[in-house]
Amino acid sequence: MTPLVIIGAGGFGREVHDVVEAVNLEEKTAGISRFDFVGFLDDGPVDRDLIADRGPLLGGIDVLAELPLDVEYVIGIGSPTARRRIDELAGHRGAATLIHPTATIGEHRMVIGPGAIICSHVSITTNVTLGRHVHLNLNCTVGHDAILGDYVTVNPGATISGNVTLQDGVNIGTGAAVIQGKTVGAGSTIGAGASVVRDIPPGVTAVGVPARPR
């Protein structure tokens, strides 16, 4: 078993723990448990009642440097900027990749970077590239030949069509859609329910149907 810590003990951190439990349950049918969950790390206030039945709060993120090098980590924090910072702090420590058993992923020319978290009922088709610490939340879809850079977040129910490029640090809001062939520039945020029908420049927030920088 691989010892694992989750960085972030808030709502998404607990959802990530659900993915870990689902992976372990699936593996146990073959007599193997893949992850040995060690605990949570979080610098902020934590509702300990909500994690009491999941595992211990080990302390702040600085505790990661004190753990044995065989302990891997995932980042259960939605902010792409925070994930980049934590990834840099982690140095050469291994980042686990989590894929919920109900996710559907194509078999051909898939690249899934370290630290990626693919939640339940995600659908990814074929020839898709995911960078480091990409988060694909519940029930989102990613079409053929899409490229998602490092620290991208795709929130629940969002639709990424074929041949789309989401550059590093992009955040796609809940229920948003990006039509085929479009590019969303690095660090941009697409609002919930927005529809991206033209390329979006870097570093902006775009909302509406069609999505426009505000």
Write out the H or E segment, with its range, that includes residue 22. Answer: helix 11-28
Neighbours of 165 (CB within 10 A): 19
User: What digits encode the pLDDT tens for the residues 62-83?
Assistant: 999 999 999 999 999 999 999 9
CB 130 within 8 A of CB 115: no
Distance CA 202, CA 169 (A): 10
Third-level CATH fold of 2-90: Rossmann fold (3.40.50)
Burial class (CB in 10 A: 0-12, 13-18, 19+), 20: buried
The amino acid that residue 109 corresponds to is: R
pLDDT of residue 169: 98
Distance CA 90, CA 211 (A): 36
User: What digits encode the pLDDT tens for the residues 150-198?
Assistant: 999 999 999 999 999 999 999 999 999 999 999 999 999 999 999 999 9
Query: Percent of the chain beyond pLDDT 90?
Result: 94
Q: Which CATH class is domain 97-201?
A: mainly beta
Burial class (CB in 10 A: 0-12, 13-18, 19+), 164: buried
Region 208-212: mean pLDDT is 96
Q: 29 pLDDT band (50/70/90 cuts)?
A: confident
Strand partners, 141: 123, 159
Name the catalytic one among 108, 121, 135, 144. 144
Against a cut of 0.75, is the pTM above it?
yes
Active site residue 100: no
Bond before 213 cis per omega within 30 degrees = no
Strand partners, 148: 130, 166
The structure tokens listed for 178 are: 């990006």
Region 59-63: mean pLDDT is 96
Identical fold between 2-90 and 97-201: no
Neighbours of 30 (CB within 10 A): 8
Write out the H or E segment, with its range, that includes residue 165. Answer: strand 165-166
CB 190 within 8 A of CB 213: no
pLDDT of residue 135: 98
Distance CA 65, CA 106 (A): 36
What ranges do the domains of the chain cover?
2-90, 97-201
